[in-house]
């Protein structure tokens, strides 16, 4: 029986140290374009998700707002915590349309249409004969 021949020494392998007990470090895997793109998309999605959670606010409600343009005037009114009204007045057509917005169902319906001719007329202001702020010479 012949004794086994010793293996030649590999000078490229690191020498065993007491800390790693002869283990060689793992060889790095090259990063291809597909893996890099997946990593970038995952980091981007995480950043957007955190920003959405931190910056998410309650929906805006237009309580008590009004606006006008041309012959139209718009008013908003809160009826309850889940219902708002939008009143659109068309001066040229002489009618008002009231829309009902349900916050829970996110639904806008026409509540009623009112001709402006049927609204009560304002009473004339009473004329005052004495003017307490006006000084007499």
Q: What is the DSSP string of 67-120?
A: EEETTEEEEEEEEETTEEEEEEEETTTTEEEEEEEETTTTEEEEEEEEEGGGSP
Q: Which residues 6+ apart lie within 8 Å of 95 measured at CB?
A: 89, 113, 114, 115, 116
Question: Which tens digits make up the pLDDT trace of 7-23?
Answer: 665 555 555 555 555 67
Asked whether residue 77 is assigned to any structural domain, the reply reads yes
Whether pLDDT at 47 is above 90 = yes
Largest CA distance in the chain: 143
- The number of distinct structural domains making up the chain is 1
Decide if 1 is inside a domain: no
Mind listing the pLDDT tens digit for each residue in 81-133?
A: 888 888 999 988 899 999 998 888 889 999 889 898 887 888 877 766 665 66
With beta carbons less than 8 A apart as the criterion, state whether 110 and 88 touch.
Answer: no
Domain that holds residue 100: 66-118
Question: pTM, whole model, 2 decimals?
Answer: 0.44
Asked if residue 39 is part of any domain, the answer here is no
């Amino acid at each position: 029986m012949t004794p086994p021949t010793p293996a030649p020494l590999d000078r490229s392998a690191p020498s065993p140290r007491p800390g790693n007990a002869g283990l060689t470090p793992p060889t790095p895997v090259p990063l291809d374009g597909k893996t890099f793109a997946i990593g970038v998309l995952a980091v981007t999605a995480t950043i957007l998700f955190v920003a959405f959670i931190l910056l998410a606010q309650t929906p805006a409600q237009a309580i008590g707002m009004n606006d006008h343009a041309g012959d139209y005037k718009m008013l908003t009114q809160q009826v309850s915590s889940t219902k708002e009204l939008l009143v659109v007045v068309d001066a040229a057509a002489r009618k008002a349309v009231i829309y009902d917005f349900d916050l829970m169902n996110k639904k806008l319906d026409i509540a009623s249409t009112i001709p402006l001719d049927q609204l009560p007329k304002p009473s004339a202001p009473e004329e005052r004969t004495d003017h307490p702020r006006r000084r007499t010479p």
